[in-house]
Amino acid sequence: MSPLSITRTLPADATAAALRADVAQGLSRTPKQLPPKWFYDARGSELFEEITKLPDYYPTRAEREILLTRADHIAAATNARTLIELGSGSSDKTRHLIGALTGLQTYVPVDVSESALAAAGEALLAEHPGLTVHALVADFQQGLALPDTPGPRLLAFLGGTLGNLLPDERAAFLHAVHAALSPGDALLLGTDLVKDEATLVAAYDDPQGVTAAFNKNVLQVINRELGGDFDPADFDHVALWNAEHEWIEMRLRARKELTVKIPGVDLAATFAAGEDVRTEISAKFREDGVRTELAAAGMELTNWWTDSADRFALSLSFR
Ligand code: AVJ
Please work out whether the CB of residue 160 comes within 6 Å of at least one atom of ligand 1.
Answer: yes
Which residues face 316 on adjacent strands? 188, 303
Q: In angstroms, what is the span from residue 44 Cα to ligand 1's centroid?
A: 11
Compute the distance from residue 150 Cα to the ligand 1 centre, in Å: 31
Neighbours of 89 (CB within 10 A): 24
Q: Is the omega angle on the peptide bond into residue 152 within 30 degrees of 0, that is, cis?
A: yes
Query: What is the best residue among 34, 37, 40, 48 to mutate for testing ligand 1's pocket, by most ligand atoms within 8 Å of CB?
Result: 48
The ipTM assigned to this model is 0.98
Which residue's alpha carbon is at the smallest distance from atom 4 of ligand 1?
Answer: 282
Ligand 1 atom 2: the closest Cα is on which residue? 161
pLDDT tens series, the chain, 319 aa:
568 888 887 777 788 899 999 999 999 999 999 999 999 888 998 999 999 999 999 999 999 999 999 999 999 999 999 999 998 766 778 888 999 999 999 999 988 778 778 888 888 888 888 899 998 988 887 778 888 999 999 999 999 999 999 999 999 999 999 999 999 999 999 999 999 999 999 999 999 999 999 999 999 999 999 999 999 999 999 999 999 999 999 999 999 999 999 999 999 999 999 999 999 999 999 999 999 999 999 999 999 999 999 999 999 999 9
